[in-house]
Structure 1
């Protein structure tokens, strides 16, 4: 890459343009490297000093000469991803297509094709100018990759790039997305970032093992730890009282390394979900991000999870009654209908991420369809947004190819190495419904359809006295989506069919109220 044009003196003078002397010195040092006069260490130091001196100067934020200096430094760095993150963080030419073209070409040469593809997509989503030039560069990139993969006999890899698949959970992709949203992230209400490690005496991830420290200070508030509410591969969730007050209970999600993405998802839910439905998707009060940990403070619900409800039937060798299954299915359909309609995918839709909420009074047919009255504050609450996908950050044509690797919840497309989008959520819904109906995870098989083709359906048969048509319609439509297009209409129609069935007989509503009351007494007293 030609970093410095030899004819820079006529552009400006050093007094008006402090970058000019740096450019001249860098050019001379680069010529010495290319001619073999020195090893390049002096050039690296010179580039570093220039960047450190000028990166805060707003005059050079959109200066292509300064971008070239960054890239010369990047090319000589072993940790080129860190350098590129700095370019993004300092917003150097982020509106210019050359930023994305140059870095994508650099990655392509290194064989990092998927990463290069995402860089192009990022530039396109930002409408970087000249936009048509960037589109053409991306198109030529796809053609090159297609030829290379076909020469190697890898048609699947070629198809991957031609259709623009992305793994939304890949570490490098998430890092890029967090960089992309950082200007927005730091402005969110309740977001507190520190450039230091967690200052408390306790090791947060081993908090429960400590017999002494049960109160921790985070952001000026004291939290009294009352127990562990959940644990995953990277995070622990603690039940805590604020300032020792049992009436102010929160959930503290402690994660190492720090992970601010989940807080972004919660704030996007605040912005996009209608107010009358917002409480169904979990509420985050604040997040504290340190160099070593992040602590997410959320509202705490004490009634257990849908997994607990399923287990309460399993331990006594029974299955959940059909009307209760249908009640929770309606709730989940409504959740996904709402989420997908505003461009959000949960990505980890399973029963232990669905908290149970009980109505303050008996449910009646009134308000059932509109979710008003007692219906507005009942049912389920979807939490754990660490795998959430914000579709607004991707081009509208993007489809995904990552594997959730959660046993029992890998959608058909993941199993068959096909692209997916909303299916990751709807498959999870089908698995949960199957668990409620049959007390077991779902296994599927291909069965012949009426048109002579084949469709995916659960292996386990439906009981004759169930409303077989409704259940079969749900599994047929959600397990056999041929495209990654918006599924909200399908979800809405399935939900309305079940709502009409539940409301068709007052005995069903009475039975539902009895079951919920019995369930509440059983689970909340255990």
Structure 2
């Protein structure tokens, strides 16, 4: 094991508590494992650690207990997916203010050779002022010194690699620190020209420290750019950013979403302005809107429109909690919406990069929906305001900043949404979004994330399909065609044509059934009531 029980003995000096017997058992299991590294002992430790995590992960007494954090480290060491475990630690807020979390995770990643990820973990801890902060900064400094030596040793190889890259197809990681720094250098001179961009070389000047919002935000008032924002609650959070619902100047009718990020990251604002410029006016409401950005030296604050109807993930969960499944008519409707969204987006030279149900907000029409099939298909009348809205552009890719032949590599780091190409370490482009669409459709149909399997084709090749079968009363032909085509995109395929053909196949089915729109209206009405009550 890479993570050992160093200092775990210190846990036993504490007074009796529910966690203590588990720590004793885990220590004994580790001692047995070190004495006899058998598979039986290894499995016993893995089970003890997993059971301990499951027992105490929702116990508030353990939330800031460093002993419990060390159990998580053992669990992380047993897991093949570091990032999903770290994400769970974040969601449960286990010792987020303790520098031990970030130092240990960074060392873990460094040992695996994932230096960029290790660097990001250090930066995340420092941005959160994890204590003791000086210890964390010192560890980060030593890390940078170590990778500096590695970088110098590899410089000759890198120069040769760069020269070779020019001869063939360019392949870059769009989310690496070096790529992000490069594209930010390209766009920063242009940001000042965009409406709503406000830059200051100083730290955020407000009386309320933005870092305190992580612990307590409700009804706090912060002044940004001469306007008062009354925080009404946290609407979401990620690795480097938190999103808050806020009223402008205490006006309950003027509600916005504030995305507060440290270190500052103006890329998302740039992406929103590209959407403004490139998308047709009638499509713009499907892609979120940024009103303004305040860019300080320590934080960036993105002010966006706030949609109050929940996310597509909320809609899926509303069925799961009552043991039901989303109606097929509603699954088809949202599939048509997502195909249309990606068709529109990709034709403008933009990739979203984080296409998942959490980032698809529900849009509800302000007036009653009609039975008019033509309005439904062409998205006219009340159907224009009904559907989905794609937000969170922090991982967006602007293809116009890269050469036309550029392909991408690298992992999206979102558990369950890594496309086939990422898993097989092959170049990818639009697949990062189309695979996300497949996962979402699978979640709507099955209430589960998608697992796929590799099958042998008649010509001796192979193709991919979801493991779970379709239910016999579904329109199997439509769903099978969707997954078969989107999970097996070839470099020579015209993927925009593919998206259009898939969308049209679903729309043709809708038009063939006069009762479809009536059933859909009823399903949307029930969904709206369900999400409102939640």
Give your verdict on TM over 0.5: yes
Deviations along 1:101-144, one digit per CA (max 9) or x if unpaired, are xxxxxx998635898699xxxxxxxxxxxxxxxxxxx7xx118x
What is the distance in 1 between the residues matched to 2:160 and 2:496? 29
Correspondence for 1:503? 511
Aligned residues: 383
What is the distance in 2 between the residues matched to 1:519 and 1:412? 32
Deviation at 1:206, TM superposition (A): 2.6
Contact 2:217 2:234 in 1 (8 A): no
Contact 1:282 1:299 in 2 (8 A): yes
**TM-score normalised over the length of structure 2:** 0.69
Deviations along 1:346-383, one digit per CA (max 9) or x if unpaired, are 00000000000112322431222322112211100000
Match of 1:433 among 433, 436, 441: 441
Contact 2:218 2:231 in 1 (8 A): no
Report whether the alignment pairs 1:379 with 2:379.
no
Alignment of 1:346-361 (within 5 A): 346-359=352-365, 360-361=367-368
Look up the SS of the partner of 1:285 in the other structure: strand
Contact 1:177 1:393 in 2 (8 A): yes
Look up the SS of the partner of 1:287 in the other structure: strand
Report whether the alignment pairs 1:394 with 2:368.
no
What is the distance in 1 between the residues matched to 2:404 and 2:160? 15
Report whether the alignment pairs 1:111 with 2:154.
yes
Contact 1:224 1:240 in 2 (8 A): yes
Q: Which has more radius of gyration?
A: 1
What is the distance in 2 between the residues matched to 1:114 and 1:475? 41
- Structure 1 segments unaligned to the other structure (5+ residues): 1-106, 119-137, 146-160
Match of 2:198 among 192, 200, 210: 192
Contact 1:345 1:422 in 2 (8 A): yes
Report whether the alignment pairs 1:168 with 2:186.
no
Contact 1:202 1:213 in 2 (8 A): no
Report whether the alignment pairs 1:280 with 2:302.
no
Deviation at 1:199, TM superposition (A): 0.3
Match of 1:442 among 427, 431, 450: 450
Correspondence for 1:243? 249
Correspondence for 2:485? 477
Alignment of 1:480-495 (within 5 A): 480-483=488-491, 486-495=494-503
Correspondence for 1:310? 316
Look up the SS of the partner of 2:436 in the other structure: helix
Contact 2:196 2:292 in 1 (8 A): yes
What is the distance in 1 between the residues matched to 2:205 and 2:160? 40
Correspondence for 1:423? 431
Contact 1:207 1:213 in 2 (8 A): no
- Structure 2 segments unaligned to the other structure (5+ residues): 1-149
Deviation at 1:490, TM superposition (A): 0.4
Look up the SS of the partner of 1:236 in the other structure: strand
Alignment of 1:218-233 (within 5 A): 218-233=224-239
Deviations along 1:323-345, one digit per CA (max 9) or x if unpaired, are 10000000000000001101000
**TM-score normalised over the length of structure 1:** 0.70
Residues 109 and 200 of structure 1, relative CA distance in 2, 3 Å threshold: closer
What is the distance in 2 between the residues matched to 1:115 and 1:185? 32
What is the distance in 2 between the residues matched to 1:508 and 1:115? 58
What is the distance in 1 between the residues matched to 2:179 and 2:449? 31
Deviation at 1:500, TM superposition (A): 1.2
Match of 1:370 among 372, 378, 386: 378
Residues 390 and 246 of structure 1, relative CA distance in 2, 3 Å threshold: same
